[in-house]
A = this chain, B = another copy of it.
Amino acid sequence: MDYSDIIEKDLNAIFPEDSGDIAVEASRYSLLAGGKRIRPKMMFMTYEMLGADDKIYDDVRFYASTLEMIHTSSLIHDDLPCMDNDDLRRGKPTCHKIYGEGIATLAGDLLLTEAMVRLLQISCLKPEYALAGYKMAELTGVRGMIGGQSIDLSSENLQISLDKLYELQAKKTGALIECAIVTPAYLMKDNDPMILPLLQKLAAHIGLAFQIQDDILDVISDAETLGKSTGKDERDNKSTFVTLLGFDEAVKHLDMEIEGAHKVLDELECKGCKVDEYRKLVDYLKTRGA
For this chain, the copies found in one complex come to: 2
Contacting A102 at CB < 8 Å: which of B21, B83, B100, B142?
B83
Assess whether A114 is interfacial by the CB under 8 Å rule.
Answer: yes
Q: Which residues of B contact A101 (CB under 8 A)?
A: 82
A93-133 contact mask (Cβ, 8 Å, vs B): 1 or 0:
00000001111011011101110110111011001001101
Assess whether A245 is interfacial by the CB under 8 Å rule.
Answer: no
Assess whether A260 is interfacial by the CB under 8 Å rule.
Answer: no
Q: Which residues of B contact A154 (CB under 8 A)?
A: 21-22, 103
Assess whether A259 is interfacial by the CB under 8 Å rule.
Answer: no
Q: Which residues of B contact A150 (CB under 8 A)?
A: 21-24, 103, 106, 110
Q: Smallest distance from the beta carbon of A194 to chain B beta carbons, Å?
A: 22
Closest residue of B by beta carbon distance from A145: B113
Closest residue of B by beta carbon distance from A153: B102
A146 vs B100: C-alpha distance when bound (angstroms): 17
Q: Which residues of B contact A112 (CB under 8 A)?
A: 109, 112-113
Closest residue of B by beta carbon distance from A23: B150
The number of chain A residues with a CB under 8 A from chain B is 46
Contacting A130 at CB < 8 Å: which of B82, B109, B127, B146?
B127
Closest residue of B by beta carbon distance from A150: B23
Q: Smallest distance from the beta carbon of A200 to chain B beta carbons, Å?
A: 18
Assess whether A284 is interfacial by the CB under 8 Å rule.
Answer: no
Q: Is the CB of B123 within 8 A of A137?
A: no
Q: Is the CB of A106 within 8 A of B22?
A: no
Assess whether A138 is interfacial by the CB under 8 Å rule.
Answer: yes
Assess whether A91 is interfacial by the CB under 8 Å rule.
Answer: no
Known: A109-B109, A110-B150. 18 other contacts (CB 8 A): A23-B147, A24-B150, A77-B105, A80-B105, A83-B105, A103-B150, A106-B146, A109-B112, A109-B146, A113-B116, A113-B146, A114-B141, A116-B119, A116-B141, A121-B134, A123-B123, A123-B124, A127-B127
